Amino acid sequence: MPPFDIPEGDPFGPHNLPYGVFSAPGPDSARRVGVRLGDHVLDVGAAAYALGSPYAPLLARPSLNPLLAAGRTTWSDVRRALTAWVTVPSHRETIERHFHPLSSVTLHLPFEVADYVDFYASENHARNVGRIFRPDAADSLTPNWKHLPIGYHGRSGTVVVSGTDVVRPSGQRKAPADPEPVFGPSVRLDIEAEVGFVVGGPSERGKPVGLADFRDHVFGLCLLNDWSARDIQAWEYVPLGPFLGKSFATSVSAWITPLDALEEARVAPPERTHDLLPYLDDSQDEPGGYDLRISVAINGHVVSEPPFSTMYWTAAQQLAHMTVNGASLRTGDLYGSGTVSGPTERERGSLLELTWNGRDPLELPDGKRTFLEDGDVVTMSAWAPGPGGVRVGLGEVTGRVSG
């Protein structure tokens, strides 16, 4: 009987248990926290009440924020409880009525986004961008790149859940040869394949969060598409950085994978080529990278497989850097890894790189692509190595471009 008859090796088996927020069809359409198991969603608040669990008040909520705010010990305790609910046969009869087929529910943005920060942590991506835009520079990286994880704040109010249409943005653009800027819909709409990290436990203003405290603050991760209008961005971004070229939409997967589900995916980041200042020096720490195998498809056709394990800066380093000036964290803060690009052509995480700024169009079954066309559906999915060789699936992030 579903959902307990999950095939051996299902990437959304009981070893995974990502969190989301859903609403079910029918008279009670309230939003509630759900955990994915196979192709079903467990209403964990209802299940918790049915089982008399002390976590019921934390889980029977319309958003993940209360759970996020509860802190690491509670995250682990709740995960242990959930694992027991879905694996111990005696709970089966009590909770099975609280499962909903995934295909029947609506998935919502799983948490209220506080601040959103985006990083730039893939050396391959940064070098590709440097080669494209500064072909004559002696070094394709800016001088600061190997010393700190470069980041900037984005718009948290336009973070949308997977499945939300993305309206092609209009704005100013000016090619170098144009005498004046022109206004209109972006003609260079792009994607950026990223991983988003979700902050649970807050921190105090004036108190940096060190590398060792990463797991006390970051609850889990999601896939993230940092939609980018390259023409708008190119004209606006000097000297204060990206603004309207990015702020129209950022899509995140509906499922947040807890870091506790990704223990087997931890890997060492690439070898560091520069000495790091002490607050960023992770050379004596446990592995800070994650081996996430991302796949990017346009209209169902896979165009790239960016490997997250190649990221130069880790999420722990990004958190340490983001707070080293005393900036505080809030529950619901989200930060993106930056575009994930591997060393080979088929591992690049943006069309800018995949088509080398439009010079080498991609050949798709439905025609050539330099940048996105109206109606294109972009879908990113990923998996990570899990216990006993079983994969841990990440929720996909998908979005359709509307004109």
Residue list, annotated binding site for Mg(2+): 226, 246, 250
Shortest separation between residue 297's beta carbon and its own copies, angstroms:
24
Q: Is 125 an active-site residue?
A: yes
Q: Is 400 in the site for its own copies (CB under 8 A)?
A: no
Shortest separation between residue 310's beta carbon and its own copies, angstroms:
20
Nearest-angstrom CA–CA distance, 33 and 48? 11
Question: Which of the residues 319 through 338 are near its own copies (CB under 8 A)?
Answer: 321-322, 324-330, 333
Residue 336 tokens, joined: 């993106």
Nearest-angstrom CA–CA distance, 18 and 32? 14
φ, ψ of residue 347 to 5 degrees: the values are -115, 15
Shortest separation between residue 332's beta carbon and its own copies, angstroms:
9
Given the structure tokens 């108190």, which residue do they identify? 207
Nearest-angstrom CA–CA distance, 132 and 118? 21
Q: Is 303 in the site for its own copies (CB under 8 A)?
A: no
Specify whether the CB–CB gap between 57 and 36 falls below 8 A.
no
Question: Which of the residues 36 through 95 are near its own copies (CB under 8 A)?
Answer: none
350: nearest Cα among 229, 233, 232, 192: 192
**Which of 40, 125, 217, 321 does the annotation list as catalytic?**
125
- Sign of the torsion formed by the C-alpha atoms of 317, 322, 325 and 329: negative
Specify whether the CB–CB gap between 395 and 254 falls below 8 A.
yes
Q: Is 340 in the site for its own copies (CB under 8 A)?
A: no
Question: Which of the residues 189 through 208 are near its own copies (CB under 8 A)?
Answer: 205-206, 208
Nearest-angstrom CA–CA distance, 338 and 139? 20
Shortest separation between residue 349's beta carbon and its own copies, angstroms:
16
Residue 197 CA from chain centroid, whole number: 6
Among 236, 305, 347, 376, binds its own copies (CB under 8 A): 236
Site size toward its own copies (CB under 8 A) is: 62
Which residues of the shown chain bind its own copies in the complex (CB under 8 A)? 114-117, 120, 142-144, 147-148, 150-158, 160, 167, 169-172, 174, 180-181, 183, 205-206, 208, 229, 232, 235-245, 247-249, 275, 277-279, 321-322, 324-330, 333
Catalytic site positions: 125
